[in-house]
Amino acid sequence: MTIEELEQIAKNVKQENEKYDYEINVCMDLACASQGADKLKDALVKAAEAGAKKVLVRRTGCMGPCSHGPLVRVDTRVDPEPRLYRRVNASHADAIVTSLGGAPVPDLRSNLDEHFDKQVRVVLENAGYIDPEKIDDYIARDGYKALLTVLTEMTPNGVVHRITESGLRGRGGGGYPTGLKWGTVAKAAGDLKYVVCNGDEGDPGAFMDRSVMEGDPHRVIEGMAIAAYAVGASKGFIYVRAEYPVAVSRLTTALREARRHGLLGNNICNTPFNFDVEIRLGAGAFVCGEETALIASIEGRRGTPKPRPPYPASSGLWGKPTLINNVETYANIAPIVRNGGKWFFNMGSERSKGTKVFALTGKIANTGLVEVPMGIKLREIIEEIGGGVPDGHTFKAVQTGGPSGGCIPADMLDVGVSYDALLKMGSIMGSGGMIVMDDTSCMVNVARFFIEFCMTESCGKCIPCRAGTAQMFTLLSRICDGTGTMDDLALLEDLCSTVKETSLCGLGQTAPNPVLSTLKYFRNEYIEHIVHKRCPAGVCNMQAAQSEIQSEVMA
Amino acid sequence: MRKNGFARHALIETLHTVQSSFGYLDDDSIRFVAQSLHVPLSQAYGVATFYHYFTLKPPGKHTITVCAGTACYIKGADKLIAAAERRLCIKQGQTTPDGQVSLMVARCVGACSRAPVALCDGQVAGEVTEEQMLEQLERWKAE
């Protein structure tokens, strides 16, 4: 495969597409598929074949606003303005095909301009435009161009330099500068090195990695191949959760296609560079998102973390230098190489560059995937892009970072989103889950939910995490039942700092964050539970405690 | 196993294959896998019990999996689980005595935008209500 051949493929696809006057793109991501998007697509294909117009029906990855699904976007060559239809089902297929060239179907029109206007799409640039199982579709949108440019025109050092220059930071949550990590692995001694993609999206409430792997799998593979060239690795692993069977099958197809096109394997693009990727399945362990635990799991062992250093950059998989990055980090690589580090550097805030994909869920009108430049205010994400809290409820808090993150209250919504700002507020960027809670959510109960999660997900290797989270869960349960005392609260705070400071890995060190942040911003709710035995949100069941008080009064 | 060249590090992959063929991992299959891959039985058993995805008990004829991720929890997944437990008279992770229905709880299936989510025999259903779920359970029970 050479650049010329790549361009030829892109040209062929474009010529093929130009035969059609209309393109109907059907979102077939999990959320839309669960509402009958596959039947809808079949109906559209049938309707298009029956009609006289030249219509291409294509399935695509996630278009974003999942709560309006199933989504259909119609692109025409005459009219530059695409039409987005929402809540479409198979019975609408005829109406959509008939309306082509005329006025849009009125009942299905979506009014989501505000939702899209503030977004900047880098990672999701192909989402909704390509068929994830067709490598040609990806190539037609500049796919693999970055890889071939790198292989033929750049030195490995040059690539590391470009990534460093872009200011990209790890998108898995920690925010470690990607260029620095690549540089360390590149400098590490040894012939055999590995590149690993962390697709173990364990954070409940986040699904952007799944969406990228399912909707644009080649982007991840291209990012990994560029990384492998930069650090001098010849073998890569993608670690995917077993809960994402579609992602696994899409990646398997993508890998096969890439090998067939000579974009993976030996002597890629007639250069001495060899690289191939294998898929590894997780089996449901949150701790495997931690890099040393992930390595143990790839090696076929129990996923328990190891003390660092040595860092995986010097001693990782089978003791060899290993580069581990998150799915979204790899997805950013190709655009950076194509457009230059400066382009990326100019987006975002002072210390957090580029864009970030968030999975917006919970009590919010437009749930789904959004991609925004760093530094955007939380208020803009929630009220403008997300459409605010529905059903007349009021906003209470937004939870970021999953079980390792914290809850951010309403009066801090005007802070710009960046790694440092979120850390300062007692939360973390995390992988990008953003769960909105309204006045019907009890913050003590939410804290208990996360501690329960960490308690069951603790691998059991170190005591502060194993025993500490269990004790914290007991204390929080007592408070939720209304049997807690102020001493319990003091003990809880004490435990938080112990677990935070003495745990071995990231899971334990961040496990107290949901408790600490709710204690910081919603302390009055804890006090209500303890002193007045009532739950302000009406979530916790306190009958036992209340009847106890009554019997005391009667006695 | 052959697909992975009998590699020792492909233990998890192999166990996945066994589970998807037989529905669960029994003692014999774990022993067989350990022997074939030249992995100590303790390691194979350790891996099989460490990861939530593997189950050592045979599942029921039908399985309902309620997602208990954060978004689903906020939208009332705990009430769904409690209702299912009441109806089936079993706890989460168990199977009804007649072997018809297993009730499972998942950590997150990644369909958070349609919370609360339940999987009925692997089929994702979004924005599930208690009535819908109980109706499905009744249908399975009646079979």
**What's the mean pLDDT in A412-429?**
92
For A30, which of B16, B71, B110 is closest by C-beta distance?
B110
Same domain, A284 and A418: no
| CB atoms A205 and B13 under 8 Å | no
The pLDDT > 90 percentage for chain A reads 82
> Is pLDDT above 80 for A543?
no
Strands (E), A4-125: 22-27, 55-60, 72-76, 83-85
Query: How many Å is the Cα radius of gyration of chain B?
Result: 17
Of A27, A28, A32, A34, which to mutate for an interface test with B (greatest number of B Cβ within 10 Å)? A34
Query: What's the CA gap between A255 and A276, in Å, rounded?
Result: 9
CATH number of the domain that residue A408 is part of: 3.10.20.600
Same domain, A427 and A450: no
Same domain, A300 and A215: yes
| A399 interfaces chain B, CB cutoff of 8 Å | yes
pLDDT on residue A412: 93
> Is pLDDT above 90 for A552?
no
Q: Collapse the DSSP code of A294 into the 3-class scheme (helix H, G, I; strand E, B; otherwise coil) and give the result.
A: helix
Q: pLDDT digits over B99-139, tens only?
A: 899 999 988 888 999 989 999 998 899 999 999 999 999 99
Select from A480, A195, A155, A479 the least CA-distant residue to A320.
Answer: A195
pLDDT on residue A76: 86
Choosing from A100, A117, A134, the residue where a domain stops is A117
**What's the mean pLDDT in A130-145?**
94
DSSP state string for A67-95: GGPSPEEEEESS--S-EEE-S--GGGHHH
| CB atoms B113 and A367 under 8 Å | yes
pLDDT on residue A545: 67
Domains recognised in chain B with CATH numbers: 8-50 (no CATH), 62-142 (3.40.30.10)
Same domain, A154 and A293: yes
Q: pLDDT digits over A340-375, tens only?
A: 999 999 999 989 999 999 999 999 999 999 999 999
pLDDT on residue A553: 67
> Is pLDDT above 80 for A80?
no
| A359 interfaces chain B, CB cutoff of 8 Å | yes
Q: Do the domain assignments include residue A2?
A: no
Name beta bridge partners: B65: B104, B119
| CB atoms B47 and A301 under 8 Å | yes
Number of compact structural domains in chain A: 4
Same domain, A478 and A414: no
pLDDT on residue A1: 81
CATH number of the domain that residue A481 is part of: 1.20.1440.230
Q: Do the domain assignments include residue A540?
A: yes
Q: Do the domain assignments include residue A255?
A: yes
Select from A206, A199, A207, A209 the least CA-distant residue to A242.
Answer: A199
Choosing from A345, A367, A385, the residue where a domain stops is A345
Q: Do the domain assignments include residue A291?
A: yes
Same domain, A488 and A408: no
Q: pLDDT digits over A149-200, tens only?
A: 999 999 999 999 999 999 999 998 788 999 999 999 999 998 899 999 999 9
> Is pLDDT above 80 for A416?
yes
pLDDT on residue A554: 67
Q: Do the domain assignments include residue A84?
A: yes
Does residue A101 come out as left (phi exceeding 0), alpha (psi in the -120 to 50 range) or beta?
left
CA angle A498, A500, A506 (to 5 degrees): 145
> Is pLDDT above 70 for B1?
no
Say how many residues make up chain B: 143
Residue B75 phi/psi, 5-degree rounding, is -95, 15
Report strand pairing: A406-409 vs A368-373: unpaired
> Is pLDDT above 90 for A430?
no
**What's the mean pLDDT in A266-273?**
92
Determine the residue of chain B that is closest to A286 in CA distance.
B107
pLDDT on residue B4: 72
Same domain, A232 and A210: yes
> Is pLDDT above 90 for A81?
no
Same domain, A266 and A290: yes
**What's the mean pLDDT in B70-85?**
92
Same domain, A463 and A409: no
Same domain, A301 and A378: no
| A64 interfaces chain B, CB cutoff of 8 Å | no
Determine the residue of chain A that is closest to B43 in CA distance.
A301
User: In this structure, which amino acid lies at residue A333?
Assistant: I
Name beta bridge partners: A165: none
CATH number of the domain that residue A55 is part of: 3.40.30.10
**What's the mean pLDDT in A37-61?**
93
Q: Do the domain assignments include residue A4?
A: no
Band (pLDDT 50/70/90 cuts) for residue A459 is very high
| CB atoms B114 and A66 under 8 Å | yes
**What's the mean pLDDT in A470-474?**
96
CATH number of the domain that residue A213 is part of: 3.40.50.11540
Q: Do the domain assignments include residue A130?
A: no
Average pLDDT, chain A: 92
Query: What's the CA gap between B102 and A208, in Å, rounded?
Result: 30
Query: Which residues from B are below 8 Å from A203, CB to CB?
Result: 108
Same domain, A332 and A449: no
pLDDT on residue B88: 93
Same domain, A98 and A214: no
Does residue B60 come out as left (phi exceeding 0), alpha (psi in the -120 to 50 range) or beta?
beta
User: In this structure, which amino acid lies at residue A427?
Assistant: S
ipTM over 0.90: yes
Closest CA–CA distance from residue A143 to any residue of chain B (Å): 26
In which domain, by residue range, is A293 found? Answer: 142-345
Query: What's the CA gap between A169 and B18, in Å, rounded?
Result: 39
| CB atoms B124 and A30 under 8 Å | yes
